[in-house]
Chains A and B, each alone.
Chain A
Amino acid sequence: MIDVAFVVFSLAAVLSGYLVFRVDSMIRASFLLLASFLNVGAVLVLLLAEYLGTALLFMMTVEMVVMALFMVMFMMNPAGLNPMSMVHQPRAAALAGLAAAAGIWAVAVFADFPDAPVVGADQAVRDLGLELLGQSMLVFESAGVTLLATMVCAVVLSAARGRFGDGYEGSVAPPLEPGGDHRPEDDLVDTDTGGHDHGGH
């Protein structure tokens, strides 16, 4: 029974992971990625990592919905009505992916690992709680502080205005020769926020 569930969930995880890069709409891609994560969460529950599996479900559901919002912002093919293929170096990328997978598969098939499975799921969750608030508290707290720093960094990076002025300052390409005109790609820069001067300084 568990084996059947494992096959179903893991096949669904791999298939939806593959379809992420095959569908024509970025929204569908982000929800397929969510499906892949949910199926991996189910496999974690089958592996008796019940807390981690459930945490993955909740975390990924929220994360992928946020991702879907970003997809709407950056999507060039909203309804997925046109075929979408935005790829470069497809052959090299596919070969690199195959090589990475083959390396892990070789380890999976040929390496010898100790056989010491977990027995009780309840005990595992209890042990994890004691570990997180005991021996591994530093790890746990560091993860928390890192997430706080991430929030600050994300706001600073994405803010339109920095502390010292416009967010464009310092991010405009310099002229190719001293005192020369700006690079052509600067014409793409959105100039209607605060009249940025494009001339050489």
Chain B
Amino acid sequence: MNLTTVLIVAGALVGIGVWGALAQQSFVMLMMGIELMVNGAILAAAGFWAETGAGGPKGQVLVIVAMAVMAVEMAIGFALVAAVYRARQADMTEGIGSLRG
């Protein structure tokens, strides 16, 4: 276990997240892809802290910020999904095509 292997795993998680977020039509599945991306980011940040930071605590603070971002993303995301469903009965991205720019 070293930084290279940790980053390879983190890259795989981020890649799967990008694929899922772009390919899925359902809002909730799309958000799972975003969560998976943040999961990979957390792993990468922790890897950098553990292998290159000589134990300085600032790297761990970055991970805590990423975890807070993930909680915010999920709460606001689900609130938006509920609001969109209430207004348009849409639970798929195609259902709100009138937002297309």
Contact = CB atoms under 8 A, between A and B. Distances in A.
Given A26-B28, A36-B39, A115 B51 contact: yes
Interface string B56-84: 11101101110110111011101111110
Contacts of A67: 28, 32, 74, 78
B91 to A, nearest CB: 5
Interface of A is mostly: helix
Interface string B6-42: 1111111111111111111111110011011001101
Identify which of A89, A128, A130 gathers the most chain B CB atoms within 10 Å of its CB. Answer: A128
Contact of A87 (B11, B23, B47, B52): B23
Interface of A: 2-3, 6, 10, 13-14, 17-18, 20-21, 26, 29-30, 33, 36-37, 40, 43-44, 46-49, 51-52, 55-56, 59, 63, 66-67, 70-71, 74, 76, 86-90, 92-94, 96-98, 100-105, 107-109, 113-120, 123-124, 127-128, 130-132, 136, 139-140, 143, 146-147, 150-151, 153-158, 160, 167-168, 171-173, 183, 185, 188-190
29 contacts: A6-B5, A17-B12, A17-B16, A17-B36, A20-B20, A21-B33, A26-B29, A49-B50, A63-B71, A67-B32, A70-B28, A71-B28, A86-B25, A87-B24, A87-B25, A88-B93, A93-B19, A97-B20, A102-B11, A104-B15, A105-B7, A116-B53, A128-B57, A128-B61, A131-B61, A150-B75, A157-B82, A158-B86, A185-B88
